[in-house]
Amino acid sequence: HREQVGSDFDALIAADQRIEPRDAMPDEYRQTLIRQIAQHAHSEIIGMQPEGNWITRAPSLRRKAILIAKVQDEAGHGLYLYSAAETLGVDRAELLDRLHEGKQKYSSIFNYPTLTWADCGAIGWLVDGAAIMNQVPLCRCSYGPYARAMIRVCKEESFHQRQGFEILWNLMRGTEAQQAMAQDAADRWWWPALMMFGPPDSGEAAKGGHTAQSMAWGIKRFSNDDLRQKFVDMMVPQAEKLGIVLPDPQLRWNAERGHYDFGPIDWDEFWRVLRGDGACNAERITQRRRAHEEGAWVREAANAHAAKQAAKQKE
């Protein structure tokens, strides 16, 4: 039976066909997807916090309405992703427990603070920009439910990125203080955004990484470094349009490579943040646990309602 599972699965992957929940799949493939989709879902819901921090202080009613909608979108993305993970045979309650116990990761980027309003612009422009770069290829992921969830997520992320760009665009056309605020936000978010793509493809940091296997399975379509390079190439002209100087003196066009060269990334900082030692790790998890506990009555009410409906149908 195991051999049959292997050959059907391999044939589907070789033909670049989608694997669906009903299909047999190797356990390692299933576990890799659960790990990645859960981490992705956790990132979406933890990612509500940095910007949620500014909802009460958005500078106008229009900005407040946009920000509320955006933060709600992130919650929605979390829900699609937990649902996609559930098709692999895990329970979302269990995944949330693993997040709350620190046993599953969420993106490093959400452990940085949002100090000024311009940070909402920088998150939209840089963080959502990086998210799109990473997630558009996931629309072609070999696992059907994940790939389909990504289509809508990417459409919404594109809107988020435009709204971030527009916040910074307006600040850069404002007073000197507003321009300085936008520049400062870009200075603080640029390097962490580059780290979002994950550790480099080669060297010590790449050991134990998942990229080669995930690419062979059609989960990842590009390596971390390739996506990071695409992101830099996309962002440099946008920064020039904005009038923002990216905080990297080594950033320059390399005509031979046809790409921008950029300076070294501080991977020690990345691993420190992953170990829990970033500026906001403790705050993010405490807030998440509190939200979960405060939401217990909603889950109980939903379960009671579902049980009542099920009983009615039996009658």
Q: Which parts of this chain interact with ligand ACO (CB under 6 A)? A: 35-36, 39-40, 43-44, 47, 105, 107-108, 131, 134-135, 195-199, 209-211, 214, 220, 224, 274
CB of 153 to ligand ACO, least distance (A): 9
Decide whether 18 or 40 has the Cβ nearer to ligand ACO.
40
Decide whether 12 or 150 has the Cβ nearer to ligand ACO.
150
Report the 10 Å Cβ neighbour count for 222.
17
The one-character DSSP state at 249 is: T
Decide whether 105 or 292 has the Cβ nearer to ligand ACO.
105
Percentage helix, strand, coil, to 5, in the chain? 70, 5, 25
Decide whether 183 or 211 has the Cβ nearer to ligand ACO.
211
CB of 145 to ligand ACO, least distance (A): 14
- The amino acid occupying position 9 is F
DSSP secondary structure of 70-106: HHHHHHHHHHHHHHHHHTTT--HHHHHHHHHTT-S--
Decide whether 142 or 214 has the Cβ nearer to ligand ACO.
214
Decide whether 46 or 236 has the Cβ nearer to ligand ACO.
46
Residues 6+ apart with CB under 8 A from 81: 37, 38, 40, 41, 44, 146, 149, 153
Query: Are 139 and 10 in contact, with CB atoms under 8 Å apart?
Result: no
CB of 191 to ligand ACO, least distance (A): 12
CB of 194 to ligand ACO, least distance (A): 10
CB of 107 to ligand ACO, least distance (A): 4
How far apart CA 62 and CA 207 sit, in angstroms, is 47
H/E stretch holding 183:
helix 176-195
CB of 233 to ligand ACO, least distance (A): 18
